[in-house]
Structure 1
Amino acid sequence: MDRLQHGGGGIVVAGVADGDGGAVLGEAFGDAAADAAEKRLSTAKRLGELPAAADPTALARYFGAVLQGMSQRSRDGADTAELTATAELAMAAWPVAGTGTTAS
């Protein structure tokens, strides 16, 4: 999809419809990972890879919540198509550098 190819950022989707793979994803995006994501997003903002108005803290927490929700959906049996659609929708909220808008 074009929204996922805009180059303004990325989101990692890793989930399985059965087993414990989704649980690993949810655990992986805890406070330490959110803090690391926030630090990287702050760097991206400083380098102009994100718009000046972007909020690195809010972005890190938002995408962490999306990943945790996707992890839970995976454990509940969501298939790849559902998880991909969720990721695409989340990426529509990604701020695009130089435009002042989101990827949608």
Structure 2
Amino acid sequence: MTAKVRGSAFRLALLGAVGTAVLAGGCASGGDGPTGRALAGGESCASVKQQLNRLDARGVPSSVQAQAAGKKLSPQQKADADLYNRLLNDYLGARCHV
């Protein structure tokens, strides 16, 4: 499997697992309703998705997987993995995937 396919498969699996929790949590909290929470700093769903796609193309999901497995990462890999996780949380929290 290529890195791009593995990264996409990982992201889809993560979207499925985390998305269900985010949707259930968002509905239960009575927060912002069906639109989810607002994105910070003038970001839009499209801009967050574009950033995620760029990180995906660079192979960052493999760093996210390594970080989750407790493997040692370089400072740059850790920063990229943290950014990817933040963007993914923002994307899901804002319900951009719906």
User: TM-score of the superposition, structure 1-length normalised?
Assistant: 0.35
Structure with higher helix content = 2
